[in-house]
Chain A
């Protein structure tokens, strides 16, 4: 299990290869990549800057992974989240979950992403033709996390 918060880009293929190597128990790997879009709330976005709370960020993501391990069989998990200034088409976040079978891998990957969106201390500021603006939290993200509580 590992969590990385970094400015540099990541290579999903290299990360999956590293996770798979030497672990013959892994039968399924699910992954998610979040990407910067060029439009948000109707305005074009030229760049986006991600701020975070060093220390708490890593702790909160590790806690989310721990919770996923309590619910599903998770043989390994990796979360990489980028910070700093990004532009449209850049990768922002990577979640990879390895399990014995696909059901647990899919579910744990989605759970980790839904909880990360609502609990990990990151904030996005986007630059649009109107200037800089902090992105508002979305009700739909809260709802996505809520559904795991039932």
Chain B
């Protein structure tokens, strides 16, 4: 199982902030997970589309699309940050 978190505008658009899922067969990277999630339906396809300016983290560290994923990972997707 992996934990997937969604924050801010993304959380609202998808209607969920956190879920647990079994790493789907054939998905081994962040890019692969994003593509997998994009197949879930309209909101997911729109928000997870490759052109959308999304950031991601794996185990609470900012991660690039080719970052490998493993069972037990905490993955997060979020819009560019706006703190301070």
Residues of A within 8 A of B (CB): 34, 50-53, 55-56, 59-60, 81, 92-93, 113, 116-125, 134-138, 141
Segment of B4-12, B28-36, B43-51, B65-73 in the binding face: B4-12
Bound complex: CA of A40 vs CA of B78, how far in Å? 22
Judge whether A51 and B8 touch: CB under 8 Å. yes
B76 to chain A: which residues have CB within 8 Å?
53, 56, 121
A119 and B60: CB pair below 8 A?
A: no
Residue numbers of B with Cβ under 8 A of A are 5, 7-9, 57, 60-62, 76, 78-84
Are B82 and A81 in contact, CB atoms less than 8 angstroms apart?
no
Residues of B within 8 A of A137 (CB): 79-82
CA distance A93 to B82 in the complex (A): 12
- Chain B residues with Cβ below 8 Å from A60 are 60, 62
Cα(A59)–Cα(B73), bound, Å? 17
Q: How far is the CA of A50 from the CA of B81 in the complex (A)?
A: 11
Establish whether residues A121 and B81, one from each chain, have CB atoms under 8 Å apart when the complex forms: yes
Which residues of the other chain, B, contact A124 by a CB distance below 8 angstroms?
Answer: 82-83
Q: Report yes or no: A121 in contact with B57, Cβ–Cβ below 8 A.
A: yes
With A121-B78, A123-B9 known to touch, is A34 a contact of B84 (CB < 8 Å)? yes
Whether the pair A123, B84 counts as a contact (CB closer than 8 A) is no
Taking A123-B8, A123-B9, A134-B9 as contacts, is the C-beta distance between A117 and B83 under 8 angstroms?
yes
In the complex, the answer to whether B81 meets A119 with C-beta atoms within 8 Å is yes
Top 7 closest pairs, chain A to chain B, by CB: A122-B83, A137-B80, A123-B8, A56-B60, A117-B84, A134-B9, A135-B82
Q: Which residues of B contact A116 (CB under 8 A)?
A: 83-84
Q: Determine if B7 and A118 form an interchain contact, defined as CB atoms under 8 angstroms apart.
A: no
List, in ascending order, chain B residues with CB within 8 A of A121's CB: 7, 57, 76, 78, 81, 83
B58 shortest CB reach to chain A, Å: 10
- Measured between alpha carbons, how far is A125 from B61 in the docked complex, in Å? 23
Which one, A53, A134, A135, contacts B60 given CB within 8 A?
A53
- Sample (6) of A-B pairs whose CB atoms are under 8 Å apart: A56-B57, A116-B83, A120-B83, A122-B84, A123-B8, A137-B81
